[in-house]
Amino acid sequence: MYLMGEILLNVAKGLIMTIVKTKNGEELVIAPEGMLDTANAPAFDAEMEAAVAETTKLVLDFAKVQYISSSGLRVLLKAQKKVAASGEMKLVNVSAAVKEVFELTGFTNILTIV
Partner 1 sequence: MKKKTLLQSVLIALVCGLIFYILGEPCREFFKVSETTEVRIVAPLPFLFSIAFGLPGALGCAFANVAADASQGFPATIFVPGFFSQVAYGYLPALLWNYLRRNAKNKFKLDRVYKVVQFLLIVIVDSAFISWLVYLNVALNGLPVSVDLWLNVFFNQLITMVVVGIPFMVICSLRYQRYLHKKDRMPRTMFSFSLNEKFLLFFLLASIVLGVAVGGANYQILLYKHHLDTLHLWNYVYYAVGVALNVALWASLAFLYYMERTVAQPVETMSAIAKVFGEETEIEAKIASIVSKCQKYVYFTSEIGDLARAFKGMSSELDTYVKNLTNVAAEHQKTHTELSIATAIQVSSLPKLEVFKRLELYAMMDPALEVGGDFYDFFKIDDDHIALLVADVSGKGVPAALFMMVSKIILRHNLMQGFSPAEALLRANEELSKNNPIEMFVSCLCGVLDLKTGVLKFANAGHERPALMRKGGEFYLPQIKSCFVLGGMPGMKYQDFEVPLAPGDIMFTYTDGVPEAMNENNEEFGNERMLAALNANKNESMENLCKNVREMVRAHAGSAAQFDDITMLAFCYKGA
Residue 87: count of CB within 10 angstroms of its CB = 13
Contact between residue 37 and residue 67 where contact means Cβ atoms under 8 Å apart? yes
CA distance between the termini of the chain: 41
| Of residues 34-53, those binding partner 1 (CB under 8 A) | 38
Judged by CB under 8 A, which of 10, 22, 70, 112 binds partner 1?
Answer: 70
Amino acid identity, position 73: L
Cβ 64 to partner 1 shortest distance, Å? 17
Given the complex with partner 1, which of 43 and 73 has the nearer CB atom? Answer: 73
Cα–Cα dist 28/46, whole Å: 15
Count of chain residues binding partner 1 (CB under 8 A): 16
Judged by CB under 8 A, which of 27, 29, 57, 78 binds partner 1?
Answer: 78
Cα–Cα dist 70/84, whole Å: 20
Binding residues for partner 1, rule: CB under 8 A, are 38, 70-71, 73-74, 77-78, 80-81, 103-107, 109-110
